[in-house]
């Protein structure tokens, strides 16, 4: 059960998981970057920063350690004859661009038209996060999510629309905040049939 007693043993909190060890060369690389910015990595406030940054980046990029397709392995065929669009809207995500390693923050809309089975809706979000937690470009992220669902579920159609802001544009370079980039990938009937494409885009709110 999910109450507080789960995290207590004899009145004491369960010990946290051990911290991931950080290789010396990784920590030193981060110290080098700190020095290059003009700071002193031996200053008190920065002493533990290399380890923190390294562990944070291991978490940001944990998608490299998983196969997103595995989330689509279990499907359900008892759907009462349902054969209309399944849509999960406004899935928040965060990634990092491979060019500047700056944050990509946005939301995704994922839809598919089932053939004879469906998948648990949380699995669509897990597929997204599996690819987002890597160094990315938005165009590739959009294609990877769509292709994974297309190959994994064999549906009649797949639609993925991603809207995101990019730190490499808002915090550096042109420094233009408030700009959203939209990418989409349509497959199957959503690509070949104009009426189906308009229907799914209207459901997403892009029609």
Active site residues: 97-100, 138, 166, 168
Q: Secondary structure of 149-164 in the HEC alphabet?
A: HHHHHCCCEEEEEEEE
In sequence order, the 6+-apart residues with CB closer than 8 A to the CB of 110 are 87, 88, 91, 124, 125, 127, 128, 145, 149, 159, 160
Please report where in the chains the tokens 């999960």 appear, as a residue.
88
- How many residues appear in the chain? 207
| C-alpha span between 147 and 143 (Å, rounded) | 6
């Amino acid at each position: 059960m999910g109450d507080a007693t789960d995290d207590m043993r004899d009145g004491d909190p369960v010990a946290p998981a051990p911290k991931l060890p950080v290789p010396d060369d990784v920590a030193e690389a981060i110290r080098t970057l700190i020095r290059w910015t003009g700071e002193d990595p031996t200053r008190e406030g920065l002493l533990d920063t290399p380890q923190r940054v390294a562990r944070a980046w291991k978490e940001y990029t944990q998608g490299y350690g998983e196969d997103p397709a595995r989330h689509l392995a279990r499907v359900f065929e008892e759907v009462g004859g349902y054969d209309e669009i399944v849509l999960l809207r406004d899935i928040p995500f965060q990634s990092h661009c491979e060019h500047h390693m700056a944050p990509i923050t946005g939301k995704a809309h994922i839809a598919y038209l089932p053939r004879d089975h469906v998948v648990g809706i949380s699995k669509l979000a897990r597929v997204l996060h599996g690819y987002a937690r890597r160094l990315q470009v938005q165009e590739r992220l959009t294609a990877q999510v769509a292709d994974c669902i297309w190959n994994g579920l064999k549906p009649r159609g797949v639609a993925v629309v991603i809207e995101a802001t990019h730190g490499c544009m808002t915090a550096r370079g042109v420094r233009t905040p408030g700009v959203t980039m939209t990418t989409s990938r349509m497959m199957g009937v959503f690509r070949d049939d104009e009426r189906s494409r308009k229907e799914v885009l209207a459901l997403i709110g892009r029609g």
